[in-house]
A and B are shown apart, each in its own frame.
Chain A
Amino acid sequence: MKNELFVVAVVGAGVSGASIARKLSAYTCDTVVLEKECDVSFGVSKTNSGVIHGGFHYPTSLLKGRLEVLGNIMFDTLQQQLHFPFKRCGILVVAFTVEEMKTIEKLYMQGTANKIIGLEICNRERIHTIEPTLNADVVGGLHAPSGGVIEPYRYVFSLIESAKKNGVTVKTDFRVARAEKHNSHFLIHAENGERVRARFLVNAAGLYADEVSRACGAEGFHIIPRKGQEYLLDRNASGLPGKVVFPVPNPTSKGILVIPTPEGTCMVGPTAVEQEDKEDASTSQENFEKIFHSARRLIPKISERDIITCFAGLRPALSGGDFYIAESEQQPQLIQVAGIQSPGLTAAPAIGEYVKDLLKSAGLVLTERPDFDPMIDEVPRIRRLSPYEADELIRENPAYGEIVCRCESVSEAEIVAAIRRGHTTMDGIKFYTRAQMGRCQGGFCTYKIMKILQRETGMSIEQISKRGAESGLITGKVGNLTVQDVGKAAGEGKS
C-alpha cells in the first residue's frame, strides 16, 4: 500500500486542529488533518458554549491567558474572511455583594494588565442600564465590550473549508491507532488500516490527546473529561439578555452563564463535573434545578417553559490548569496541543499561530503560498434576507425557494451547500444550516433532509445517519416486509 506523504499531520479536527490547519494552509507545506469522526467538529468543539472571552479571567503568566488575549482580537478579521456567525455583544460579570465587587476589581486589574481595551467597572445604575434584564439585586460588575459569541461548529467548518481551499487534505473516519518514526518521518496507522506519513505531527486530539500521545511514543499524561450540561432556550422567550452574563467566578469554574447566541436563542449553563468515561455525554435531571436556579439568579425571567433542548459536552481537562502546547520532549517533531479547555475557543486563532511557530522551531521550513486565499464563499442564508432579496436569489437558484426547515427558515439550497461541503450526516447538516435546531427539533424537516441527502449523495435510506457509523435512522423498508416479520412482531397476540 502506498503511503501518502505529507509534511504536517494534524490529529483532530476540532477548533484547535482546524485553526492550526488553516494557519498552515497559508504555507506550502503539505498538510493533512486526521479526524476520527465522520465529520469535523464532532468532538469537544461540537458542544462548546460559543463564548469569545474578554481576556480578564487569566493572567498572561499563563499560556492560556496570553493566547486568549491574542485570539480575541482576531475574530473580526476571521469573520470577514470566513462568514461564521459572530457578535461582539459584550460580557458582564455581575456581583451581588461588596465582597464580590472586590473580585470584580481583581478581574478588572487583570484585564487591564492584559491590555484589554474598553474594560470598565460598573456601579449599580450603570450595569442595569447596560443590561436591563439583570436581577435587581445585582450591585455592580465588570463590563467587557470585547467579549462576544460565535457558533463554534460554523467556525470550525469554515476553518476547514478555508484550509481545504488552500490545499489541505482532510481525512475523516481516520482514528489514529499508533505512529512510529521511520527516518525522521512519522508513519501514522489508522485503526482501519489506512496509513499516512508526515514529518511533523500535531496532537490536537481533544479528549483523546493523552491516548494519541502515548500511541505516538510521546509523553504520558491524563485527560480527564469534565462534563458540562446546557439548555437551549427559545428566541421568543422574553427577558433574554443582550450580553453574556457571568457570575463572579469561583476557583474551579467560571460558573453558570446566560449566553445569548448569534442567532437570537439563549444558552444557560454549563455545569462542570469531572468523570471517567470519555464517551458519556448523557444529561441528567439533577442538573436541571442547579442550572435554572443559577441562571434565574442572574436573569430572573429565564424560564424552563422556553426550553428547546438540553445537551452535554465534555471538556478535555489536564491537571495543571493551563494549555499544554509545546514540542514533545520525548518525541521530537511532535507538537502537543492538549488540555484545551476554556478559553480554547477564544484562543484558537492564536493557537494556530503559536503552533506554526513551534513547528518552525522544530525544523519546519515555512514558505508562504503566493496563491493563499483567506476568503471562502459566503453561502446566502434565506432567513437573513428580506423578501425582495430572497425573491432575486430564488430566481438565480430555485432551491432557495424550497423551505425545508420552517422553524429556522432554512432552504434546500443551504442543505445542498452543506452536503457539497462534506457534511453528509443529519448532525453535520444541522450544524451547517441550523435545520433541526429549532422548536420542532426535526419533526417536520427530517424526512425532507433525508430525501435531499439521498439525491445528492446516492446514499441509500439505511445509510443515512445522525452522526456516522452506527447512528442510522431507518432500518428497513415497508416494501421489503414479509408477513413473517409481522408475525414475529405481533408476538403471541390474539391474531
Chain B
Amino acid sequence: MREKHCDAVVVGGGSAGLAAASRIASQGYSVTVLEREQELGGILNQCIHNGFGLQRFREDLTGPEYAERFVEAVQSHKNIEVLLDTTALEVSPGSIHSVYGYSRHEGVTKINARAIVLAMGCRERNRGNIGIPGTRPSGVFTAGLAQRLINIDGYIPGKRAVILGSGDIGLIMARRLTWVGVKVLGVIEIQAYPSGLTRNIVQCLNDFSIPLYLSHTVSDIRGRDRVSGVTVTPLEEGKANSEGKFDLECDTILLSVGLIPDNELSRKFGICLNPETGGAFVDGGLMSCVPGVFACGNVLHVHDLVDYVSEESERCASFVAEYLAGTYSSSHHPMTAGANVKYVVPNRYLPGRDNRFYLRSLIVKNKAELLISAGGEPLKRKRLAHVQPSEMVSFELSESELAGIPDPPENKLEVSIY
C-alpha cells in the first residue's frame, strides 16, 4: 500500500477545503487534499449562477469563477498535493492520524498527518428524510442532483416540474429549469414566508410568472412508473388543511428542502456531533473533540454564503497551523446561543485574541440587535438591518472587546437577538 506523510490532510476539495489548504500551505506546512471528483471546486462547479463573492471580492461572480480563484491559489502552492478521483473511506485516528484514500489509479493510499481538516460539505435532504407519502415513481430529484445533471451533463430531467422548497437552490432551479424548456408549475413552501433572497423571488419566479404557494406542502406523490402529479395541501398553523388541497399535473418534482452536513467520515474519527448543527462540536479554533481533527465549511454547519465558508476555513487553517507549531491554546471558554438564536458556531471562544462567530436567528425581524453578554452583563451590541433564519449572521469579538471579561464562572458568553 502506498503511504504518504504530510503535515495536514484536507478531506474535500470544495470551497472550504481549497481555502483551508491554501492558508495552511502559506504558513509553510505540507498539505494533501483528497477530492473524490475529477476536478477541484466541489459544488461550486455546478452553481453556474451569479451572486457569489459579493462580500469577499466585492464582485458578482458565478460559482465556477469563485472556485477558480481558489483552485489557482491551491495549484500555485508547491507544498500542496492534490489527489483527485480519490475517496477517503477509512481512517485511523491516533497521535498521528491516518486517512485511507481509495482511487482507481493508486489503489488505497495511506496518508499520515498530525492534523486533519474535515471539509466534506453536505448532502441534500431527500424524499426519504421528509417522508412524502405516495408512490415511488421516477422523476423525483433533489434540486442539487437536477442542477448537476443540467449544468454539467446537459441532461433535462423532465417536462413539467413542481419544486418543493423556496430556498435559494429551489428558486435558482426554477429559473434554470425554465431556461431549459421545463414548465415550472409552482414552488411550494411550508413556511409563511419564502426562505430565499427576494432578488431570487423576483428574477426566478416573478419573471416567469411561476406561482409561489406559501404555507403549503406536497402531501402526496402519484404516478406508477414516472411521476404523474402531486397533491398540494395548505397548512394552517402547521397542520394540513385538506379542504384547500389541489392537484398539479407534473412529471418532475424537485426537492429543495435543506442540507445536512455529511459527517460519515467524521464519525469514524470518533468525533462528537452537535445535533443542533449536524456538524462537529468544535472549540474556539474549530478543532473537534479529537485532537488535531478540525472542521470547517458546510460539514461543520450549513452556510448560505460561500464567502463565509472561505473566511471560516481560512480561520480554521490558521488554527491548524498553530496546532502544528505546537502553540494551540488549550484555554477555550463557553459561547452559548441565547434568546432567538438557533445556534452559534463555534461555541467556545479564545480569550486574548480576535474571535469570529457565525449564528442563525430563529426570528424574522427588521432593525434587530445582536447582543453579546458575559455573565448576564451586556458586552457588545451590533445593529442588524434585517435578520431571518435563512441568512447566517457573522460577528466578531476582538481581543480588546474580550479584555474586560470576568473570571470563571462569569466568563460564559451568550449571544442573543432582539
Contact = CB atoms under 8 A, between A and B. Distances in A.
Interface of A: 232, 236, 279-285, 288, 304, 307-311, 382, 387-388, 390-392, 394-395, 398-403, 406-407, 409, 411-412, 426, 439-444, 446-447, 461, 465-479, 481, 485-486, 488-495
Say what secondary structure dominates the interface of chain A.
mixed
B181 A486 contact: yes
B129 interface: yes
A439 B123 contact: yes
B153 A476 contact: no
Contacts of A486: 178-181
A490 B208 contact: yes
Given A403-B87, A465-B138, A488-B183, A283 B156 contact: no
6 contacts: A394-B102, A409-B89, A440-B124, A444-B123, A447-B145, A474-B155
A443 to B, nearest CB: 5
A311 B154 CA distance: 31
A461 B103 CA distance: 26
A473 B135 contact: no
Nearest to A470: B225
Nearest to B263: A236
Nearest to B85: A402
B128 A466 contact: no
A307 B131 contact: yes
Interface string B219-249: 1101011100000000000000000000000
Interface string B113-146: 0000000000110111101011111110010110
Contacts, number: 182
A491 B209 contact: yes
B139 A473 contact: yes
Nearest to A484: B181
A473 B110 contact: no
A488 B209 contact: no
A401 B104 contact: yes
Interface residues of B, number: 64
B134 A447 contact: no
CB-based closest 7 A-B pairs? A309-B128, A485-B181, A466-B138, A401-B104, A470-B225, A471-B225, A391-B108
B131 A310 contact: yes
A445 B36 CA distance: 12
Contacts of B36: 403, 406
Contacts of B68: none
B355 to A, nearest CB: 32
Contact of A475 (B142, B159, B209): B159
A157 B152 CA distance: 34
Interface of B: 1, 36, 85, 87, 89-90, 100, 102-108, 110, 123-124, 126-129, 131, 133-139, 142, 144-145, 148-150, 152-159, 177-184, 206-209, 219-220, 222, 224-226, 251, 264, 267
Nearest to A382: B102
B107 A446 contact: no
Given A387-B90, A471-B226, A288 B154 contact: no
Given A478-B150, A481-B181, A486-B179, A398 B105 contact: yes
B156 A477 contact: yes
Given A387-B100, A440-B124, A493-B208, A461 B180 contact: no
Given A282-B133, A441-B126, A479 B264 contact: no
A407 B264 contact: yes
Given A475-B159, A489-B184, A469 B225 contact: yes
Contacts of A308: 128-129
Nearest to B160: A489
A307 B129 contact: yes
Nearest to A393: B107
B104 to A, nearest CB: 4
Contacts of A488: 181, 183
A357 to B, nearest CB: 38
B73 to A, nearest CB: 26
A489 B222 CA distance: 22
Nearest to B109: A391
A494 B128 contact: no
B90 A474 contact: no
Residue among B104, B178, B224 having the largest count of chain A Cβ atoms under 10 Å: B104
Contacts of B184: 489
A495 B90 contact: no
A392 B128 CA distance: 36
Contacts of A398: 104-105
Contacts of B155: 461, 474, 476-478
